[in-house]
Amino acid sequence: MPEDNENTEQQVVKKSSKLKFIIIGLIAILLLVVILAVVYMLVLAPKGETDEQAAAQQQVPAAPAPAMGGGMDMGVSNAEMGQIYPIPTLNVNLADPTGITYLAITLALEFDPKNSDLYKEVETKMPRITDMIITILSSKAYEEISTSQGKVNLKNEFLRRINAMLAKGRLYNVYITGFTVQR
C-alpha cells in the first residue's frame, strides 16, 4: 500500500502543478488583454472631443486669426471664402547664374464672390497678370522664395501688383497651390 500512497501523491502533485500552470497561463492572458486594451485606448483609439472640451469650446468665442503678411485678407473673415480664380501652372526659369533652376508654380486668386464684374475683368486681364507673375518670378533667386517668409513676400507682391491692374474691385488673397523647384 505504501506504493499506492506514493502514486496517489505523485498524481496529486502532477495535477496541482498542471493546475498552477493553467492558472498562471490564464493570468498571463488576462494581463495581456488588459495591456492591449490600455494601449488601444491611449494610442490607437480615435481622438474625439470629451464633453468637457466641447462645452469649453462653445463657451469661449473663437478669436479671429491674424492676417498673414501685412493684411492680405482685405476684410474677409476666416469663415467666409471668396470666389477662387485658378491660374494654371506656370513654368519659369528663376534668376540663377547657371540658368538651370526651374520653378513650376500654381496660383489661385480670391475675391468677392458677389462681384461678377471682377471675375470677368480678371479673366480679360489674365494675359497681363500671367506676364507680370512670370516677370516677377524670373527676377527672383531660389533663396529669396524658398522660405515661408519668401513665399509670403511673393504673395504680397502679386496681390499688390494685380490689385493695381484692376478697376472693378480688389483681390482678397493670392494662394500658392503648387510650388515645385528643379535645380
How do the domains of the chain map onto residue ranges? 2-47, 83-182
Q: Could you tell me which CATH number the domain at 83-182 has?
A: 3.30.479.30
104: left (phi over 0), alpha (psi -120 to 50) or beta: beta
Rounded to whole angstroms, the Cα distance separating 67 from 64 reads 9
CA distances from 60 to 55, 56, 80 (A): 9, 6, 20
The pLDDT, as a whole number, for residue 39 is 74
The pLDDT, as a whole number, for residue 50 is 47
The pLDDT, as a whole number, for residue 88 is 94
The pLDDT, as a whole number, for residue 108 is 96
Using an 8 Å Cβ cutoff, are 160 and 174 in contact? no
Q: What is the DSSP letter of 98?
A: T
Using an 8 Å Cβ cutoff, are 83 and 110 in contact? yes
The alpha carbon torsion through 12, 14, 16, 20 (nearest 10 deg) reads 180
Three cell numbers, residue 61: 468665442
Residue among 143, 163, 159, 152 at smallest CA distance from 108: 159
Unique residue bearing C-alpha cell 469649453: 56
pTM exceeds 0.85 for this model: no
Show the CA angle centred on residue 97, arms to residues 87 and 102, nearest 5°.
25
The pLDDT, as a whole number, for residue 45 is 59
Q: Where are the alpha helices (DSSP H) in the chain?
A: 2-39, 51-59, 116-124, 126-138, 142-145, 148-165
pLDDT means per 10 residues in the chain (183 residues)? 63 75 88 81 60 43 36 51 92 83 93 88 95 94 91 95 94 94 87
